[in-house]
């Protein structure tokens, strides 16, 4: 995610967050994205906290689940990272601005596409909260 700020000289500078880069922790907009994405499936209790590393967070949270819940969660993490990566690239290379609602809308669209393509875990999670299709 990116944001902009105005410097003392009046120039606008873009700040890039560390959502998909190898930085130590999740930024606030990034944590908000994960919380909202996981909330769609009632998994918001698994959202990352301030000092979590992506890989460590994913490993720990995934180990708390089993079966199709685990498959769905793992697919959702990959899908979320993919959406954030594409969103970041759009911001960087097309001079766009970060927008949480757009990123979440793109994630909802991807969930439907992945489910139709046969992602059984995501389809399983959708069965528990059909509100995912309300967008």
CB atoms within 10 A of CB 21: 10
CB atoms within 10 A of CB 41: 22
The band of 126, judged by pLDDT with boundaries at 50, 70 and 90, is: confident
The band of 131, judged by pLDDT with boundaries at 50, 70 and 90, is: very low
CB atoms within 10 A of CB 115: 20
Phi, psi of 91 (to 5 degrees): -65, -45
- Mean residue pLDDT of the chain comes to 80
Element housing 3 (H / E): strand 2-6
Q: Is 88 exposed, middle or buried (0-12, 13-18, 19+ CB in 10 A)?
A: buried
Is residue 74 scored above 50 in pLDDT?
yes
Short-list 31, 32, 83, 38, CA closest to 54? 31
Is residue 5 scored above 60 in pLDDT?
no
Short-list 84, 89, 87, CA closest to 37? 84
Alpha helices by DSSP H, listed for the chain, are: 28-39, 54-63, 67-93, 100-116, 120-128
Calculate what percentage of the chain has a pLDDT beyond 90.
50
């Amino acid at each position: 995610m990116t944001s902009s700020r105005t410097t003392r000289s009046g120039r606008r500078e873009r700040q890039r967050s560390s959502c998909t880069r190898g930085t130590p922790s999740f930024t606030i907009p990034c944590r908000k994205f994960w919380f909202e994405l996981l909330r769609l499936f009632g998994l918001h209790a698994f959202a990352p906290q301030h000092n979590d590393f992506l890989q460590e967070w994913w490993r720990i949270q995934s180990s708390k689940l089993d079966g199709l819940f685990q498959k769905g969660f793992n697919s959702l993490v990959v899908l979320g990272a993919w959406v954030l990566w594409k969103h970041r690239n759009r911001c960087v290379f097309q001079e766009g601005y970060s927008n949480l609602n757009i990123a979440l809308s793109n994630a909802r669209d991807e969930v439907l596409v992945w489910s139709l393509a046969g992602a059984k875990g995501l389809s399983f999670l959708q069965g528990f909260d059909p509100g995912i299709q309300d967008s």
